[in-house]
Amino acid sequence: MMDALIVSNLLLWILVVVLGLVVLALTRQIGLLHERIAPVGALAVERGPIVGELAPRIAVETLDGDPIQLGEPREANQATLLFFLSPTCPVCATLLPTLERLVREAPIPTRVIHASDGPRAEHEAFCKSKGIDPGSYVLSRDLGMRFEVSKLPYAVLIDASGTIRAKGLVNTREHVESLFEAERLGVASLQEYLEADSQERHTLPIEKGAA
């Protein structure tokens, strides 16, 4: 009976050690996953005009018939958030209320320009159903081509001087917020900022302890 007790205790300790190793492995994987997905920044893409350069100057017209000149300096230090969307994009529609709220709360004065293309009647009905001001909605195939937009929703933050400050795919509120944060930090995207910060931390010299 004593031998059976010893064996059972030994098996129990082996099980505890194995469980401990499993927990350590899971903890490591969770840390790696967190590092990969944080922060929740706009998904930067390499295509189109480069962040830090002047935006293409394009003359467009709103659904109200008012002319807009994108890419030119604006008065009153007002930035432009160019939001590419489609009436058939459910994520775009979900972001609309959040987008308006974020612009009102933005750290810099900002206007929203909704951009798309296609049949005018479809977009007029979309604006009416979603409460979008037709004066902030433009239809221009050329606009999407100049910014090389291939997926939606997509946003570009242009400052008052006409310079592109941030851009990327925006699927959530956090993605849109990250455009303003990237502008504040002076980087193209939060991913770029994190990568630079990570490299800096990994290259810091290790201080030697006192002898």
| CATH number of 63's domain | 3.40.30.10
Confidence (pTM): 0.72
Task: Look at residue 150 and tell me if it is in a domain.
Answer: yes
Residue 128 lies in a domain: yes
Residue type for position 172: T
Token pair, residue 38, equals: 């944080």
CA dist 156 and 182 (Å) reads: 12
In a domain, 162, yes or no: yes
Residue linked to tokens 């001001």: 133
In this predicted structure, what is the pLDDT of residue 40?
Answer: 52
pLDDT at 82: 96
Contact assessment for residue 102 and residue 135, using Cβ atoms and an 8 Å cutoff = no
* 211 located within any domain: no
If one counts the domains in the chain, the total is 1
Q: Could you give phi then psi for residue 56, rounded to 5 degrees?
A: -60, 140
**Residue 39 within a domain:** no
Q: Which of the listed ranges 61-70, 181-190, 200-209 does the model predict with the highest average pLDDT? A: 61-70
Does residue 17 belong to any structural domain of this protein? Answer: no
Residues 140-144, mean pLDDT to the nearest whole number: 94
Domain membership of residue 67 (yes or no) is yes
Beta strands in 67-172 (DSSP E): 67-70, 79-84, 110-116, 137-139, 154-158, 164-169
Q: Is 93 helix (H, G, I), strand (E, B) or coil?
A: helix
Q: What is the mean pLDDT of residues 8-29?
A: 74
What does each C-alpha distance from 155 to 36, 89, 170, 197 come to in angstroms? 22, 14, 7, 25
Q: What are 23-77's pLDDT values in tens digits? A: 776 666 554 443 444 445 566 667 789 999 999 999 999 999 999 999 888 877 8
Tokens of 57: 């100057």
Place 102 in a pLDDT band, splitting at 50, 70 and 90.
Answer: confident
CA separation for the pair 197, 193 (Å, rounded): 6
Domain span at residue 81 reads 58-196
The answer to the question of residue 2 being in a domain is no
